[in-house]
Amino acid sequence: MRSLPLEGIRVADFSWVLAGPSVGRVLADYGATVVRVETAERVDLARALSPFTNGQIRSDNSALASDVNAGKLGLALDLAVPEARDVARKLADWADIVIESFSPGTMKKWGLDFEALTATNPDLIMLSTCLMGNAGPLAKMAGFGSAGSCLSGIHYVTGWPDLFPTGYSGPYTDFTAPRFSLIGLLAALDRRRRTGQGAYIDVSQVETGLQFMSLELLAYATTGAVAERAANADPHCCPNNAYRCAPAGDGSDRFVAISVRNDADWRALLSSLDLAGLGDLADASLEERRAHSQRIDDAIQEATSTQAAEAVEARLQQAGVPAHVAVTGVDLVRDPQLIAREHFVPVRHPRRGPSYVESTRIRLSETPGRPQGAGPDIGEHEHFVLGQLLGLSADQIEQLAQSGALR
């Protein structure tokens, strides 16, 4: 097998929670040496979030933290301590890439901003990812991805017309921003390879969220129309909804999502499900179906409520109608497609034992990346990073420990 494409690339990852660490995770999957810097004095929020391996709630046992930091080396630095900032500077001099996700101005306060770091490492590439970006009148506003999805407009258009906005569950833009950040980093690496020049990359979570509002923004720019909540309704598909099916064997709810794209789908749906009271709509156009959408939804719901979701899915898919069970977490780990693609990768940690992380987010045919191990505990690889990578002596490391820098 060929060597991984990012072998030899060195990354100092000062970011935390999800948006930054997810980027470093992909770099590690493809061979980069990634040092994850954090502190026990202010534990990364991701370490406090469930799920926890075997249900044991501990900051060193979060499956989420392990997943987004898989394959990284752990170094504890309390950057409130001057000696720790000296180490951070050495780490940045060692690195090809620095990733940080603090509030704007924090790295500058510590003397670790791009201008300061490139004085001694001129071809450095630095990624800063935060809620609003590092410039502008609202740059100082701090927050997580849940705020990002509100500020990008996603919350407002998500939900039912007669109810309050619901938004997505969880910090949505924490999961969208890394995809854009990764593209920027890879482009900067290619540019540095060609020109020898570094780069500063400033990613706003809110602006990445706006990319998922493109149609709504375009509609307003061209027609003045403001997007409103429409539940599961779609202007181009009708019916388009999720329908309750018979309960599972353990009594849990089951649903199937159905989307009718065109007249052929509609006719196939009618012939596949026994829909009562819709004889007058047998040849209905999209506009007619939208006008009678509640009748149609009620008829489908009546037909599916006594049937297994899997049976409805199979019947409609065989007829060519887009349909799928609304899957649960249990369904996902049993999904034959995900199993075949080895999406859930077993990893072992000296203290946590065996657990799973997700496979790499991107697959290359000749150099497929793969998680290089479980995410580290705080400071787990302290002596290796300080001694082997940065060249500090045992006495120097002991002095750092005595100063309170390594916590």
Query: What pLDDT, on the 0 to 100 scale, is given for residue 215?
Result: 93
Query: What pLDDT, on the 0 to 100 scale, is given for residue 1?
Result: 54
Mean pLDDT, residues 132-160 taken together: 91
Instruction: Share the mean pLDDT of the chain.
Output: 95
Position 71 confidence tier, pLDDT thresholds 50, 70, 90: very high
Contact between residue 255 and residue 325 where contact means Cβ atoms under 8 Å apart: yes
* Nearest C-alpha neighbor of 8 from the set 31, 26, 37: 31
Bridge partner list, 73: 35
Strand ranges, E, within 105-204? 125-130, 199-204
Model confidence at 348: pLDDT above 90 = no
Token pair for residue 372? Answer: 């290089």
Query: What pLDDT, on the 0 to 100 scale, is given for residue 143?
Result: 86
pTM over 0.75: yes
Position 378 confidence tier, pLDDT thresholds 50, 70, 90: very high
Domains of the chain: 10-211+338-403 (3.40.50.10540), 240-333 (3.30.1540.10)
Residue 46 exposure: Cα atoms within 13 Å on the Cβ side:
24
Model confidence at 2: pLDDT above 90 = no
Model confidence at 371: pLDDT above 90 = yes
Q: Give pLDDT tens digits for 290-304.
A: 999 999 999 999 999
Mean pLDDT, residues 210-219 taken together: 94
Q: Give pLDDT tens digits for 350-360.
A: 888 888 999 99
Q: Give pLDDT tens digits for 4-27.
A: 999 999 999 999 999 999 999 999
Token pair for residue 150? Answer: 């509100």
Position 53 confidence tier, pLDDT thresholds 50, 70, 90: confident
Model confidence at 150: pLDDT above 80 = yes
Query: What pLDDT, on the 0 to 100 scale, is given for residue 87?
Result: 98
Model confidence at 362: pLDDT above 90 = no
Model confidence at 42: pLDDT above 90 = yes
Model confidence at 187: pLDDT above 90 = yes
Mean pLDDT, residues 372-393 taken together: 96
* Nearest C-alpha neighbor of 100 from the set 83, 84, 87, 88: 88
Q: To the nearest whole percent, how much of the chain has pLDDT over 70?
A: 100
Query: What pLDDT, on the 0 to 100 scale, is given for residue 352?
Result: 80
Q: Give pLDDT tens digits for 238-281.
A: 999 999 999 999 999 999 999 999 999 999 999 999 898 999 99
Query: Distance between CA atoms of 62 and 43, rounded to whole angstroms?
Result: 12
Mean pLDDT, residues 94-109 taken together: 97
Model confidence at 332: pLDDT above 60 = yes
Position 166 confidence tier, pLDDT thresholds 50, 70, 90: confident
Mean pLDDT, residues 93-107 taken together: 97
- Burial of 321 per CB tally in 10 Å (0-12, 13-18, 19+): buried
